[in-house]
Structure formats: C-alpha cells, structure tokens
Amino acid sequence: MTHLIQVVFSLETVYLLTGLVLFAFAWLTFADKCHPAPAGSALFWAILGVIFILGTHLPHAITGFLVLILVALDGANRVRPGVAEQDDSPTANSPGPPPGPRVGNPTNRIFFPVLTIPLVTICFTLTFRLRHLDVTQGALIGLGFGGLAAMFVALRLTRAPLRTLLDDGRRLNECMGTVNILPQLLASLGVIFAAAGVGQLIARGIVNVVPRDHLFLLVVANCLGMFLFTIVMGNSFAALPVIAAGVLVPLIVVPFHVDPAMAAMITLTAGSSGTLITPMAANFNIVPAALLELKNPYAVLKFQLPFALVLWPLHVLLMYVLIRLS
C-alpha cells in the first residue's frame, strides 16, 4: 500500500501528467485551422511531451537528439503562437482574459482555482517533511498535483468544457513560447561548461591577478568571481563549489583564519546579485517576462539591475568588516 502511494505521488507521475497536458496542447494546435504554423508548433510541444514522459528511461543520446530537433524547429521559426479566436480585441497588450464566453461579474470564488495550487504544494511539502522525505521533491510533486487539482476546481467552478480549459492553457503556453524550455537548455550548458572546466579557468585567472597578502582585494576578487561566474552559469549554486574551492578557501579562509561559515554564506548571496542580472537565469528573469507578456524580454533584468548593483558591494563590505572584527 505504502509502495503504491509512493509510486502514484512521485515525480514520475507528475512528469507523465505534464507530458499528457503537452500532448493535448500539441493536438489542439494541430487542429487549429487559423494557426500560422500548426505542424511545426504541434511537433515541438509533442516532442517536449515525449521527453517529459520518457525522459527517465530514454538513452540520453536519444533525448539529446530530440532536444536538437526542438532547437532546430525553433531556429527555423516553425514554432509560433496561435492567433486569437476573435479578432475584435485590439487591447492585446496586457495579459487580459482571452476571448470567448465569460461571466460578466466574477466573485471572489474565482480565486479558488489558483489558490489551490500553493495550498496543495504546501500540503505536499509538509507531508514530506513529517515523513522525513526529500522536501524539495515534495514541493515539485505538490506543484504538479496542485496544477491538476486546480484544473478540476476551475472546471467545477466555471462549468466550462474541458476543451476550453485545455485550449486556454494551450494559448497561454504558446504565448510564452519556446522560451519555456530555456531553463532546461541552460542547465545542459552548465553541465558542459563544468565538463570543459570553464569555472577552474575563471578561478585560476583571478588567482593570477590578485596579490595574495592583500585581504581587501582578495575579498573583492572572491565576491567578483562569484558574481561573474554566476552571470555566466545563470545559477549561484553551480558557481559556489568552484569559487569556494578555487578562491575562497585557499586564498581567504586558510591564510587569514576566517570563519568558513560566514565567508561561504556571504559568497553565496554575492552570487545571487549576479542571478538577478543575467539572462542565463532564464527561469527567474526571462520566463517570467514571457509569462507576464512583457514587450521587452529583458524588462525584469533591467528593473533588478540597480538593486543588484547596490547589494553586491555591500557583500564585499560586510565580509571585510566581519573578518576585521573577528
């Protein structure tokens, strides 16, 4: 019984469900008579669906070739959003409700479906914590089942047909576009950068330039290295091991007898300033811009730039002061 529950409420099930949703999107696109590129777009989302469902079991080389097909379809401009059902909505510059049947006066009950998503996510997280399972995985499984539960709640509440639900989801997904797979592609780039030793090259570059007895410059170099490498990788988590092993520990912690907990923690968030200003962190900066249908895909980055540029030097200062005080 416990085994059955573990199989049902697993990441694999959530991947399967997302894959099926993608298949439905692909089919609706293919059947859309007004679509500017039905075949290419449907193929793109269907292949992504295949990777979602079979990704764990397919040989990595096959998945790799499928990814190359995805990118080729996008590169050849064969993946496009569908046109709106009715063309009498010129105010398409804001993410308003899509055209079609709707209720004149919504009530607060319309919040129920979207509130279902965080509610289910949190329930899963807490259950996983109580049962001493992987909490991060619990949150992701919760997100998947939350999305599914929200679909049921939305259907019951609005009494809309299933097709309308999936078609609206399909339109929103197509509107966001191929940018949706960018975080996954960037993760692959990160793996290849790591295999090619790009991080070590950057760390070695820093070591060669900075005088080894000048604490302040070393702190600057450490935080700058973390910042730059995070900008390159799009992820402070990928940068930390390289910078900690290449710069922080050998050049600051060991020779100056610095508290490693303090130094490493501040180094990590020095990287977060980089995450805020790099398009490589697509899941935080580029995908949300698409989700909000921003005209400028870099608008979120632009807004975060002054925040990051003020916060980063404060890391240098804080670390230097804390080392001097100890």
Partner 1 sequence: MHLPEWARLAGLLVVAVGFALRIKPTLVVVSAALLTGLLASIPLLTSAAGLQHVPVLRNVIGEPGQEGLIDMLGRAFAENRLMTLFIITLPAIALSERFGLQRQSAKLIGRIRVATVGRLLFVYQLFRVLMGILSLRVNGHPTFVRPLVYPMALGAARIRDSAASTEELPESTVERIKAASAASENYGNFYGQNLSPVQPGILLVYSVLKGLGYTVSVWRLVAYAIPIAAISLLLGALQFHLLGKRRRGRE
Residues within window 67-86 making contact with partner 1, judged by CB under 8 A: 67-68, 70-71, 74-75
Q: Which is nearer to partner 1, 217 or 318 (CB)?
A: 318
Please, what is the minimum distance in Å from the beta carbon of residue 270 to partner 1? Answer: 9
Q: Which is nearer to partner 1, 65 or 216 (CB)?
A: 65
Cα separation of 100 and 123, whole Å? 34
Please, what is the minimum distance in Å from the beta carbon of residue 135 to partner 1? Answer: 6
- From 34, 69, 83, 292, residue interacting with partner 1 (rule: CB under 8 A): 292
Please, what is the minimum distance in Å from the beta carbon of residue 141 to partner 1? Answer: 9
Q: How many CB atoms lie within 10 A of CB 267?
A: 25
- From 1, 3, 97, 209, residue interacting with partner 1 (rule: CB under 8 A): 97
Sites for partner 1 among residues 262-281 (CB under 8 A): 262, 264-266, 268-269, 272, 275-276, 279-280
Residues composing the chain: 326
Sites for partner 1 among residues 103-122 (CB under 8 A): 103, 105-108, 110-111, 113-114, 116-118, 121-122
Amino acid at site 209: V
Sites for partner 1 among residues 171-190 (CB under 8 A): 171-173, 178-190
Sites for partner 1 among residues 31-70 (CB under 8 A): 48, 51-52, 55-56, 58-68, 70
Q: How many residues bind partner 1 (CB under 8 A)?
A: 148
- From 26, 37, 148, 221, residue interacting with partner 1 (rule: CB under 8 A): 148
Sites for partner 1 among residues 243-262 (CB under 8 A): 244-245, 249, 253, 260-262
- From 40, 82, 146, 225, residue interacting with partner 1 (rule: CB under 8 A): 146
216 makes contact with partner 1 (CB under 8 A): no
- From 1, 2, 88, 94, residue interacting with partner 1 (rule: CB under 8 A): 94
Candidates 1-9, 30-38, 192-200, 206-214; binding stretch for partner 1 (CB under 8 A): 192-200
